[in-house]
Amino acid sequence: MSSDKSMFESGWMPPVQQQAPPGQQKGKLDPQPAIEHVPDGKGGSKLYQAAGKLKGKKALITGGDSGIGQSTATLFAMEGADVFITHLPEEEKDAEETKRLVEKYGGKCYTLAVDLREAKNCRKAVEEAMSKMGAINILFNNHAYQMMVEEIHDLSEEQWIKTFDTNIHPFFYLSKYALEHMHAGDAIINDASINAYIGRPDLLDYTCTKGAIVSLTRGLANQFAAKGIRVNQVAPGPVWTPLVAATMNEDAIKQFSTPMGRPAQPSEIATCVVFLASTDSSMLTGQTIHCNGGSFVTS
C-alpha cells in the first residue's frame, strides 16, 4: 500500500515492490521519485530554485539515467551546466527522460550507453564527453551495483568481483582520465554511502567498495588540493531510487527509512552535489556530506 503522506513528510514509506536489476524508473518505480522538486519545509514540495551556480560548466555524470544521477543532471542544468551522462544499455528510456529534463531547463544533454566495468569504456566516456562538450569541469562518479546477501557464506566470489569492478575501479579510471583535462576550479564528487560508516552486514561487498570510495576521495583530495581541484563526496542514507526496488528484499524495503521517518528523495542528495560542485563549497576538499536523515556516524 502506498502511503497517503507527501514523500517529504515524516511517515512516508514507498510501497513494497521488486524489479529486475539494474532497475527502471520511468513508468516503473511507484511512486516516481522527486527529481526536480525539493521540500518546501511544510511537508510539501516546490520546484528547485536555481541561482546560476554552475553557469557554463560541463559535467560528466555516471548513472545519470535515474535516481540521484538524474536529479543531479537536472539540477545542474537548472544551475546553467551542460551534462554528459552514462547509463547501461537497458536504461535507454530513463536516459531519454534525463535528456528531456535537462533540455527543459536549457541545458545540453549527451548520453552514452556503456558498461563502465572496463577501463577502455571509462576512457571512451571521458573522450566522448570531451569531444561533445569541450571540457569536463565536474565529474560526478555516481553509478553503482549492489545486491543483498545476508551472510558471507552465500556471497559468491563472482558477486564480490562484480561489485568491485563496478563500484570502485571505474571511479579510479574515470578520475584518472578526466583529471587529464581538469583545471583549477574544477571538482570531482563521488557517491559513497552511509553503509561505509555503519558496516551494513547484508551488503558486505557493496559496503566495502563504498569504504574504498571514502579513501579514494581523501587521497585524491590531498593530491589535488594545492592545484585547486577539489574532491568531495556525498554519503547518502536510504534514497528512493530504482536501485532499491531492484536489489533489496521485501523486509528491507519495509524498513527503508531514516531518523526523519522517511527515506530521502533523489533531489535531496542532488542539492548536496550542486553545493559540492559549485564555489559555495570552495573551502571543502576531501570531505563528506552525510545526507542521511539524521544518522550520526563517525567519519
Residue 278 backbone zone (phi > 0: left; psi -120 to 50: alpha; other: beta): beta
Beta bridge partners of 231: 188
CA neighbours closer than 13 Å in the CB half-sphere of residue 220: 24
The Cα–Cα gap between 201 and 94 comes to 31
- All 3 cell numbers of residue 261? 521517518
- Pick the closer one to ligand NAD by CB: 133 or 291: 291
Q: Check residue 33 for interaction with ligand NAD (CB under 6 A).
A: no
In this chain, which stretch among 5-13, 130-138, 239-247, 276-284 interacts with ligand NAD, using CB under 6 A? Answer: 239-247
Nearer to ligand NAD, 137 or 166 (CB): 166
Distance CA(57)–CA(90), nearest Å, equals: 29
Residues within window 103-162 making contact with ligand NAD, judged by CB under 6 A: 115-117, 142-145
Among 98, 111, 163, 193, binds ligand NAD (CB under 6 A): 193
Determine the interface stretch with ligand NAD among 43-51, 152-160, 240-248, 275-283 (rule: CB under 6 A): 240-248
User: Distance between CA atoms of 29 and 75, rounded to whole angstroms?
Assistant: 21
Does residue 207 touch ligand NAD according to CB under 6 A? no
φ and ψ of 287, to 5 deg: -105, 165
**CB-nearer residue toward ligand NAD: 65 or 82:** 65
- Dist. CA 168–CA 64, nearest whole Å: 17
> Is 206 a residue of the active site?
yes
How far apart CA 51 and CA 10 sit, in angstroms, is: 28
Of 69 and 107, the one with the shorter C-beta distance to ligand NAD is: 69
DSSP structure class, residue 239: B
Residue the block writes with cell 528491507: 252
**Inter-helix orientation angle 266-277/67-78, to 10°:** 50
Residue 57 vs 143, nearer CB to ligand NAD: 143
Shortest Cβ 20–ligand NAD spacing (Å): 12
Cα separation, 238 vs 258, whole angstroms: 7
Among 191, 202, 205, 268, binds ligand NAD (CB under 6 A): 191
Binding to ligand NAD (CB under 6 A) within 251-290 occurs at 266
Give the number of residues in contact with ligand NAD, rule: CB under 6 A.
31
Give catalytic residues, as residue numbers: 206
Please give the residue ranges that form the binding site for ligand NAD (CB under 6 A).
Answer: 22-23, 62-63, 65-69, 86-88, 91, 115-117, 142-145, 166, 191, 193, 236, 238-239, 241-244, 266
